[in-house]
Homo-oligomer: A and B are copies of this chain.
Amino acid sequence: MKMSQLFGRTLRDQPAEADLISHILLLQSGMIHQVSTGVYSYLPLAWKSLKKIEAIIREEMDSVGGQEVKLGILQTRDIWKQSGRDEIYGPDMLRLKDRRDRELALPPTNEELITETVKSFVQSYNDLPFVLYQIQTKFRDEPRPRGGLIRVREFDMMDAYSFDIDDDGLDINYQEIIKAYSKAFERCGIKTVIVDADSGAIGGKDSKEFILLAESGEDTIILCPKCDYAANDEKADFQIPNNNPESANPLKTIATPNQTTIEEISDFLNISPQKTIKTIAYMSDTEIVLVSIRGDLEINEVKLKNFLKATELVLATDEDLQKANLIKGYLSPIHKEIKTIVDKSIFQDTNYCAGANKFGFHYLNAILGRDIIPTAQIDIALAKDGFRCIKCPGTLKSKRGIEIGHGFKLGTTYSTSMNANFLNQDGQPTPIMMGCYGIGIGRILAGSIEQHADEKGIVFPKNIAPYQAIIVSLNTDKEEIQKISLEIYDHLNANGIETIIDDRNTSAGVKFNDADLLGIPVRIVVSSRNISKNSVEIKTRISTDGELIPLESVLQKSNQLLNDYF
């Protein structure tokens, strides 16, 4: 490709409307263009990169026996009602009506449609197992699209589905696909960690996420540097070290006027937040629930929601509190009528300060088991730095990242609700055992930029770079330079190195800046000065200094640099 003919224009200045580095650089390099809120077009360079990502994913999915399909987009809303997810997705799903007023949905994912499809073809255990996958556009009406390709309303996703006769089969496919993911991400040149995850709205029982590590990511993951334990913060298990054991003092009430937050109460009474109890009231569907946790910790609402089996879990409103005779700012874990969930961070051998459910008063020396009698004591703290690993004596670290892939063991959730059965070896109708898997294609591109970019621009890994080499042709006014530049360009392209040439009639400064901005792995500079020595200058995007090499060794040297490149 000649840059003089390339569609897309680089901007000298960074666009003001973006804050994530991938968003800034994708706009600045002219790779993407916004269509509507959270919807982007991919221009030639971005699309070349995305096609390479797609090809890598296809190869890895094929290598574990995946069969590629392409599902229809316009689905009847009926199948979403059948599975119950029409309601669960709520306003996140885009819906429309056709000219005959039939209700259609634009899919955020395809468990319903694939189950419906497979059902028509699977009769007996003989037809199983198999894995289907597709790369297709998905839609999700995000309330707050942001970050360019990171949180969008329309995105290309590889979604895969496994179909087995039993748990053992599912385990095998699940492991194989997770392995295929790992290989694909490695080939894409991005660093990811696999973490345990909650399975959320999609249902099912076991779930892994692939997280691309990046400070800008909106997911928090918890890692143990000592063992291999890793989970996202919503799912993470851990141990919470307790305070030093104390003997129980008698419960007493103390006036704490206007002291309603943990910070205020700690200061006011001069005790550590670790010796206070924070109590929060939630509406779990229609029931009010009190949830207590150590003052310095946060509640993991995902775990709480799962434990309560709630469809909707929201904070109780002032009105909810009033109805239940609960005193705002002074909520107490000591309560006889209302369901009280206590986190495992509360121990029996500590004298805690807790709300007294009386305006302007707290308890001192509240003791678990004596004063606090919870309905249930479970693990509902949000993991954070410094907790102890559940698997080893290591100390957990938290990191930020971007979810770029996931796998769910769905089990028979969808096959049961949609009647997708096979006849087992005894001739009995049995629901198909399913797994589902997804990779965000655009997020790999954006995530890769988040992970590798430097102050000069994008740094593409070689396998997903739109081009492997860029020829910066200076002194284009001289015919000889033009000729030699094009010869190198043809030579590299003919020998399998996809090359772009900057043949524009513009300054050397602009050309060097754009070569850095576009992040092409190998840069070759052709200039009058170099050519007078029968040489060109070559360097990689991440090396500081160029090397002068003889013209005839350009191909060999380019191959060598690419070989050693990430």
Contact = CB atoms under 8 A, between A and B. Distances in A.
B70 A42 contact: yes
Contacts of A98: 94, 141, 153
Interface stretch (A6-14, A196-204, A211-219, A282-290): A6-14
9 contacts: A5-B130, A7-B132, A35-B72, A35-B74, A35-B113, A39-B72, A41-B70, A43-B69, A48-B68
Given A96-B96, A99-B143, A117-B33, A44 B69 contact: yes
Contacts of A153: 74, 98
Q: Which one of A1, A95, A104, A153 has the greatest number of beta carbons of chain B within 10 Å?
A: A104
A279 to B, nearest CB: 34
A41 B71 contact: yes
A503 to B, nearest CB: 13
B74 A47 contact: no
Contacts of A156: 70
Interface string A142-186: 010000000001101000000000000000000000000000000
A65 interface: yes
A244 interface: no
A73 B99 CA distance: 19
A8 B47 contact: no
Given A33-B117, A72-B154, 6 more contacts: A5-B65, A9-B127, A35-B76, A73-B137, A94-B98, A99-B141
A30 interface: yes
Contact of A67 (B37, B44, B130, B139): B44
A409 B123 CA distance: 52
A119 B113 CA distance: 39
Nearest to A153: B74
Given A33-B117, A113-B35, A143-B99, A73 B7 contact: no
The 8 closest A-B pairs by CB, nearest first: A35-B72, A96-B96, A39-B72, A41-B71, A91-B99, A42-B70, A44-B67, A39-B74
A94 B95 CA distance: 11
Contacts of A94: 74, 96, 98, 104
Contacts of A73: 39, 137, 139, 154
A40 interface: yes
A50 interface: yes
Nearest to A32: B72
B99 A70 contact: no
A7 B96 contact: no
Contact of A104 (B36, B50, B120): B36
Interface in A111-127: 113, 117-118, 120-121, 123, 127
Given A99-B143, A104-B36, A121 B7 contact: yes
A33 B120 contact: yes
Nearest to A42: B70
A99 B89 CA distance: 12
Main SS class of interface, A:
mixed
Given A96-B94, A153-B74, A154-B74, A121 B8 contact: yes
Q: Which one of A33, A68, A76 has the greatest number of beta carbons of chain B within 10 Å?
A: A33
Interface in A11-47: 30, 33, 35-37, 39-44, 47
Interface string A59-81: 00000010111111111100000
Contacts of A65: 5
A76 B42 contact: no
A191 to B, nearest CB: 27
Contacts of A96: 94-96, 106
A446 to B, nearest CB: 15
B91 A70 contact: no
A433 to B, nearest CB: 16
Contacts of A102: 36-37
A36 B75 contact: yes
A297 B30 CA distance: 56
Contacts of A130: 5, 7
Q: Which one of A8, A50, A72, A121 has the greatest number of beta carbons of chain B within 10 Å?
A: A72
Contacts of A68: 44, 47-48, 51
A35 B112 CA distance: 11
Nearest to A121: B9
A118 B132 CA distance: 37
Contacts of A5: 65, 130
B74 A36 contact: yes
Contacts of A1: 67
Contacts of A95: 96
A50 to B, nearest CB: 7
Nearest to A76: B36
A75 B35 contact: yes
Q: Which one of A43, A70, A143 has the greatest number of beta carbons of chain B within 10 Å?
A: A70
